[in-house]
Chains A and B, each alone.
Chain A
Amino acid sequence: MAQVNYISPDGTVTTIDARDGDSVMETAVKNGVKGIIAECGGACACATCHVYVDDDFAAIVGGPGDLEDDMLDGTAAERCSNSRLSCQIKMCAEYDGLTVKIAPKQV
C-alpha cells in the first residue's frame, strides 16, 4: 500500500492509500478527491486528469509517453515540465509518498 498526497488548487492536501496498480487518477476519483475529472476513465483520451508531479518524485515517476505527451498539449491549464495525466501513473510501493498538484482547470 503506497500513499499519494493530492494538493488541490485551493491548497488543501488530501492523503489517500492507493491500491497497488491503481492509477493516481483512479485513486483520486474513487475516493472523491475533487478537481480530477477523468471523464474517459483512464484511457488517455480526455486530458481532464492533469496534475503536476512534485519535484522530489519527478525523476522516479518519469515523463509522459508519446500519446500522453500529445494529449498534454491540449490541457485546459498551463502545461509545465512536470505535467502528467494522472491516469497514466500507476501506483506501486516505489511511489509511496508521491505528491501531485491538481491542475487548476481541467475542462
Chain B
Amino acid sequence: MAEQVLIVGAGQAGMQVAVSLRELNYKGEITIVGEEPYAPYQRPPLSKAFLAGEADIESLEFRSPDFYSANDIKVVIGEKITDVAISGGKGVAHGSNGRVHNFDRLVIAPGSAPRRLTIAGSELDGVLYLRSIADAEALKARWAEAKNVVVVGGGFIGLEVAAQATKAGKRATVLEAADRLIARAVSPLTSEYLRSAHERRGASVRLSASIESFEGSNGRVSGVRLVDGEVIPADIVMVGIGVMARGELAEKLGLETSNGAIVVNEFAETSNPTVLAAGDAVLLPHPLGFGNQVRLESVQNAVDQAKVVASTIAGEREPYHAVPWFWSDQADIKLQIAGLSTGFDQTVLRGNPDDDKFSVLYYRDGKLLAIDAVNDPSDYMAVRRALGAGAQIDPRAAADSAVALKNLIISSDA
C-alpha cells in the first residue's frame, strides 16, 4: 500500500507541503485537513486588499479546486482533528465529524491563534480579532458604517488596519502598551518613522497606553476606557496583540514544545520521527545558522519550512537554510524586512524617513544582519541577496545613500 501523509492545517505551510511533495514526484497519498470551511487561502490580504474591498474570497485561494484533483491531493475542510495516536511508526487521527485518517507520516502545521484580551467588556460585539476569513468578514460587516476604529496593539496587523481606516476616511486610534511601535521586530528608528507616518496620515497613535476596559451599550462596543479615565469612542475595536502557537496536537502527542511552540530540527522533524511540523507554530534553529532558536510568523517561513518538510518526507533531507523576509503594506507605506535584526549593535540609516523612503541596515560585530526598508525595494532586495549568498555590505560604505547597495555587496569568496 502507498505511504500515507496526513497534513493537519490547511494554511500556507500545509498547502505548500502538499504542493512541494508532488513537485518532488512523491507517489504516496496526501491528505490535508483544515478546520475552516475553505480550501487553503492567503491570509495577508485579509487586513489589506480584502478589507478594502479589492479582493474577494475566490481571489484568496492558493490553488484552483482543479489543481488539487489533478495532483491527487485530498483536501478535507471544516474538520478539526480531535485525537491522534502513533505506535510503531504508524498513526491514526480522528476528526470532529467522525472521519478516521491513517498515516505513515504526520505533518502538523496548525499555525497560531490571536492572543485574546480578557478585560471588562472584551465580550462586547464589535471587539474583533483578525486571523481568518470569518474574522475578516466580521470586520468588514461593520466597516462601512464605522466612524471610529480603535486598534489595540501597534504591531503589523494593527497598523495595517489603522492605515485602511484612515484611507477610508475613518478616525483611527492606535493604542500600544509599549513605548514604541512594533518593538519586537524593528529598530527604534523605524518605530518612530511609523508613528509619525501614521499620524501624518490622520491616525492618532498613543504609546505607553494602558487600557482599563471596553465600554458598550446594548451589547455593542462604544468606546475604550484608558486607565487615566479617558474614553476613546469606538465603533470597532480591532485587537492585534500578537499570536500564540497552536501546540495542542503536539502536546497531545507528547512532542517537545517550548511555550506551546513545536520544537523541530533543521529537517523540520519533531521529537517523534513520524511527525514533522512547519509554519507559525514551530520553534526552529536560526535559518541562517546564527545559533539561537527562533519562531517566525511569516509567509516566507511557512513556505520555506514546508519545502524542507517535503524534502525530508521524500528522503532528500535538505536542511533549512533561508533568508527570513517579511512585508507589511500599510496603505502607501510599504515596509519590507529581510534577515533577523535580533542582537544588533549598530544601525546604518540610508535616505530620509521624512521622504517616506529610507532603509535601516542592522549589524552585529560589523556583520550584516538585516534590513528594514520603507518604500525602498532596491535596498531590500540587495540585502536579501547579500544575506542569501553569505556576503557582506560594509557599514561605512552603506552610509552613503547616493551609492546603490547592490553595488556594495562583497561576496564571501572575494
Binding site for B on A (CB under 8 A): 19, 21-22, 26, 29-32, 34, 39-47, 67, 70-71, 73-74
Contacts and interface: CB of A to CB of B under 8 A. Distances in A.
Ranked 7 nearest A-B pairs via Cβ: A74-B381, A70-B377, A45-B327, A70-B378, A30-B64, A71-B377, A41-B42
Contact of B381 (A22, A30, A43, A73): A73
Contacts of A41: 42, 44-45, 62, 299
A32 B67 contact: yes
Contact of A45 (B64, B71, B336, B375): B336
A26 B23 CA distance: 18
Given A46-B325, A74-B377, A39 B382 contact: no
A43 to B, nearest CB: 6
Contact of A22 (B45, B59, B66, B325): B59
Interface in B321-336: 325, 327, 329, 334, 336
Interface string B373-386: 00111101110110
A74 B384 contact: yes
Determine the interface band of chain B, counting residues with CB < 8 A from chain A: 20 to 34
B327 A43 contact: yes
B63 A74 contact: no
A85 B127 CA distance: 38
Contacts of A42: 45
A69 B102 CA distance: 49
A41 B48 CA distance: 13
Contact of A39 (B64, B67, B303): B303
Interface in B21-66: 23, 42, 44-45, 48, 58-59, 61-64, 66
B70 interface: yes
A39 B299 contact: yes
B407 to A, nearest CB: 11
B167 interface: no
Interface in B357-409: 375-378, 380-382, 384-385, 406
13 contacts: A29-B63, A30-B62, A31-B67, A32-B67, A39-B300, A40-B299, A42-B45, A43-B327, A45-B327, A70-B378, A71-B377, A74-B381, A74-B382
A21 B56 CA distance: 11
A63 B168 CA distance: 29
Contacts of B64: 30-31
A47 B388 CA distance: 15
Given A29-B62, A67-B334, A67-B377, A74 B385 contact: yes
A39 B378 CA distance: 18
A47 B325 CA distance: 12
Given A22-B59, A39-B303, A70-B376, A47 B67 contact: no
B378 A73 contact: yes
B336 A70 contact: no
B261 to A, nearest CB: 23
A46 B323 CA distance: 12
A31 B67 CA distance: 6
Contact of B406 (A29, A32, A44, A73): A73
A30 B303 CA distance: 16
Contacts of A29: 62-63
A40 B66 CA distance: 22
Contacts of B44: 40-41, 43
A31 B68 CA distance: 9
A31 B327 contact: no
Contacts of A32: 63, 67, 70-71
B8 to A, nearest CB: 22
A67 B59 CA distance: 22
Contacts of B300: 39
B299 A74 contact: no
A12 to B, nearest CB: 16
Contact of A74 (B42, B70, B71, B378): B378
